[in-house]
Amino acid sequence: MGKRSASLKVASHALDEALQLALSLAPNSAGQIAAQREMVTALENALDARRQRIILSRSTVNWVKWTCLFAQGVCTLILIAIVHSDNRAAAAIAMWIFATGLAVSVLLISSHDRPFSGEISVKPDVLLQVRPN
């Protein structure tokens, strides 16, 4: 997903095999029917979670949103400077606090822009723990 090579057209081979196995079982009792239903539901949830991760890996924050964020930040910094023009220390402190908040917001948005690649990314540690060897 970090390389954007995962496809929605091709399902995971292991999940497909597990789903086929769960559906091929012939339950004999009500408990086995309930267990089979739960297995199929869990596998469908896993397939849906995979689809959602693939969709998320393809999403990006477009340039219009970035431009609007920076324009809003610059306008607010100018407004803070105008409002506090009589007191330079207050203007500097207010502008520093707002600029820090803006920088944190940019970092947060950029970390969610491509969540599966880059320095700030979601690692597949949990998925690797449940993967069969």
Record the pTM.
0.48
Binned average pLDDT, 10 residues per bin, the chain of 133 residues: 56 77 87 89 84 76 85 91 89 91 86 69 68 63
pLDDT at 71: 92
pLDDT at 98: 92
Instruction: Quote the CA–CA distance of 57 and 51 in Å, as a whole number.
Output: 10
pLDDT at 99: 92
Residue with tokens 């600029």: 99
Least Cα distance to 111 among 65, 74, 73, 60 occurs for: 60
pLDDT at 15: 76
Q: Please state the domain extents for the chain.
A: 1-60, 61-113
